[in-house]
Amino acid sequence: MATPSVPWWRDAVMYQVYLRSFRDGNGDGVGDLRGARAGLPYLATLGVDGLWLSPCFPSPQHDHGYDVADYCAVDPLFGELDDVDRLLADAHALGLKVILDVVPNHCSTEHPRFREAVLAGPGSVARERFHFADGHGADGELPPNNWRAMFGGPAWTRIQEADGRPGQWYLHMFTPHQPDWNWRNPEVANHFDDVLRFWLDRGVDGFRIDVAVGLFKHPALPDSPDPAADEEARDAVNPLAWNQPEVHQVWRRWRAICDMYTASDGRERTLVGEVAVPTPADQARYLRPDELHQAFYFDLLHTPWDASAFRQRIGAAMRDIASTGAPVTWVLNNHDQQRTVTRYSRGAVLGEKPDADRGTARARAAALLMLALPGSAYLYQGEELGLPEVTDLPPEVLTDPIVTATGEPDRGRDGCRVPLPWSGTQAPFGFSDAPPERSWLPQPGWFARYTVQRLRGDGGSCWHLYRDALQLRRSLSPLHDPGLHWLPSPPEVVAFARGGKFVCAVNFSDAQVTAPVCGKPVLSSLPCDDGKLAANSAAWWLVDNPPHACGQCPPSHETVDLTVTWKGLGD
């Protein structure tokens, strides 16, 4: 949707293609690059600006590709290098950007550098590229410190040395299959420079950076003050393992590389970081003009369905991130989180029974809200279909390493990763030519109600809502304005204006309310009577006069001007 003077990434809507579940092009039951390429016209029709491709690199797949054994090649499971080139060419011909996933915090135990390190022995140069340390205790039988891994269990695993005796320990902040790189070793930084150049030379438009608050650890690797809290939270909490000041040097270095490519051919590249930090102001530090272009704003994703919580989180992002000149990158779904339809189906009262229709209504409303906000947005595949989470996968099919590490199926992420339903009335719903039992995760029969084919044929479907919203987002000039103005509204409604001519209002309550402006909306997530906003719905209006100037609406109050000021953050 970017206008020519604005770099595309500042307000792009990107679509996350979770490769193994998007579309299977070779009939083995796992989505792949050929399938993704076949799906590109679909994305162009939907109206997104581009796609983020989850990892396609050689990997033993212990964490579904986030355990990388070679950063500059393609796993045969997904295709070959030529398939990336073809996908890039086709995407660019359709006007779609493509960003790849890069995983710099850790690799796979099958990465040649790690295997070399294990063989090379204590004190070797090869071990310096990772965090190897002697254990405590008489025989080194205790881990070097008390750190806990993100997916549960200790963050250290002891290896067997070449002589067969138990030896040193290595650090892994995720599974034991994912050793953390030691970024204090300059060779590691050099290696990743080469990785970026390798893919930039092939034409990618940027990178999504996995665990961008990781990389550096406290140099002394001291004990964490609260290992139980570190393990409990899914976000980066251990203050000694995450968010170290040195990581900013890396983002400056990567930004310089991207800027060099942009200067040479005029094509803007983006770096979008997975930056889960305690506050929006902390996140803004990753978005200084010489660091990352973007970072996912997870605060909105973690917000329960509550008007004041949404207002507060949006306001904080505008105040602490947008006001520095960096765009906010909104996100409601991804491959690590329960889908919105299911998440929002729970009532506000603890213990209230989940209600699927209410969840669907709220997810549609949240989508309109997100797409009306200034900045960029990332959609997760299936979101545009209003796909609910699959919450009843049989335990024996679960593949998420979190389930293995914690023994708690409810904490797993398989339910949002079930292959997409494209067409037809039974599994595999056009996802694959293979028989349904070969799909890497089984699709439930009720996916028949959510196929692309079916929803595209239904003008009131979620798919049409997303497509209409994306089209309007592009064509309505007030939506190119970088700021927003809060409008006065009852406590259960969030309402704001943009560019003086556009109004978005969301009703978070279970009852119809009076709309903040008169007239028929240009788009609404549920049918709207004139002057009304249905329960759990959102609407967009174009207004000739500033809101509340028509004389019939509730009286106007002072609005809050949050227009972007480009003041920057300094060092």
Binding site for ligand GLC (CB under 6 A): 63, 66, 103, 174, 210-211, 274, 335-336
Minimum distance from residue 525 beta carbon to ligand GLC (Å): 28
274 is catalytic: yes
Minimum distance from residue 211 beta carbon to ligand GLC (Å): 5
Minimum distance from residue 342 beta carbon to ligand GLC (Å): 18
User: Which residue lies nearer to ligand GLC by CB, 170 or 174?
Assistant: 174
Helix (H) or strand (E) holding 14: strand 13-17
Neighbours of 82 (CB within 10 A): 10
Minimum distance from residue 178 beta carbon to ligand GLC (Å): 6
User: Which residue lies nearer to ligand GLC by CB, 210 or 291?
Assistant: 210
Angle between helices 356-372 and 462-475 (to 10 degrees): 10
Minimum distance from residue 104 beta carbon to ligand GLC (Å): 10
Catalytic residue among 11, 24, 101, 210: 210
339 residue type, one letter = R
Degrees to nearest 5, angle at CA 39 with 33 and 45: 150
CA 423 to centroid of chain Cα atoms = 26
Which are the contacts of 544, defined by CB distance < 8 A and separation ≥ 6?
501
User: Which residue lies nearer to ligand GLC by CB, 196 or 539?
Assistant: 196
> What is the rounded CA–CA span in Å between residue 36 and residue 18?
9
User: Which residue lies nearer to ligand GLC by CB, 49 or 180?
Assistant: 180
Residue 44's alpha-carbon distances to 37, 47, 114, 322, 379, in angstroms, are 12, 5, 41, 28, 14
CB 522 within 8 A of CB 507: no
User: Which residue lies nearer to ligand GLC by CB, 180 or 205?
Assistant: 180
User: Which residue lies nearer to ligand GLC by CB, 16 or 146?
Assistant: 16
Minimum distance from residue 210 beta carbon to ligand GLC (Å): 5
The residue whose Cβ lies closest to ligand GLC is 66
Catalytic residue among 67, 231, 274, 414: 274
> What is the rounded CA–CA span in Å between residue 74 and residue 33?
10
> What is the rounded CA–CA span in Å between residue 487 and residue 493?
10
Sign of CA dihedral 558, 564, 567, 571: positive
Residue 219's alpha-carbon distances to 108, 215, 240, 340, 549, in angstroms, are 22, 12, 9, 39, 60
Q: Show the beta-strand stretches assigned E in 308-439.
A: 329-331, 376-380
558 is catalytic: no
Both tokens of 280, joined, read 């929006």
List, by residue number, the catalytic residues: 210, 274
